[in-house]
Structure 1
């Protein structure tokens, strides 16, 4: 081994210490695969004081997703209402509002991060409403109008606007 080359043990020790720190893990390893500009756009929508959305097209390994970027809060409100409606159709004699309320509450929670308020976890998921999923050749896989949630880490590129 050359004199300037670090030992294998020291590299493993360094990596073990790095991944043992949850904040370094999120920001240093997992966060490197996320487009910080897209993450900032998602943060803007999530933190807006009023409902704010805009058209966006996301490119993923699964295909192209196009729709309106919505906040985490709005996504879980809509998801809860949709989920509740399935129960209401099957069991109309019960009050299923608590289901919608429990999902709506998830929209106000942040992504998990270690205890302490010195860190703010950037968004890890993107939420679209009125979305369509297209394959690589442009054929429609899922029709327009779906509520979609995906990992920001899985997005390989994006453009503003909706593909019609």
Structure 2
């Protein structure tokens, strides 16, 4: 696992440090802005707020996991991005519009560079 990338993730988790970054993962480019695990889990938990009892229970578990992630942020295994775009080959990015959160295993990242790639629509 890349020590520099791991340092960026720890800074995001511990200090809400955000950084525009593009990751190379299995040939795809994942471009976005770093966010803490807590912010990621809280953001996706809100998707389940308006649903039925099962949906709300899932949202609650994700919120609890967000708090747990903040308390246990010494070791990191995942990187979390917001405003994410995925580029695979010459095709347009996925998703084409809207906010998109992404979570990936740090050990699966082949490389990275600082900065985001924007699609022509942005």
For normalisation by structure 1, the TM-score amounts to 0.61
> Comparing both chains, which one has the higher relative contact order based on Cα–Cα distances under 8 Å and sequence gaps of 6 or more?
2
Q: Is the 8 A contact 2:35 2:81 kept in 1?
A: yes
Q: Is the 8 A contact 1:39 1:122 kept in 2?
A: no
Q: CA RMSD in A?
A: 2.5
How many residues are aligned here?
115
For normalisation by structure 2, the TM-score amounts to 0.79
| 2:83 counterpart of 1:83 | no
Structure 1: 5+ residue stretches without partners? 1-33, 114-119
* Deviation per residue, 1:76-104 (Å, 9 max, x gap): 0001002334x2xxx5xx7x655433212
| 2:29 counterpart of 1:43 | no
Structure 2: 5+ residue stretches without partners? none
| 2:70 counterpart of 1:103 | no
The CA deviation at 1:136 is 3.1
| 2:78 counterpart of 1:125 | yes
Q: Distance in 1 between matches of 2:2 and 2:107?
A: 8
Residue 17 of structure 2 is matched in structure 1 by: 52
The CA deviation at 1:107 is 1.6
Rg: which structure is higher?
Answer: 1
Regions of 4+ moved over 2 Å: 96-102, 136-139, 141-145
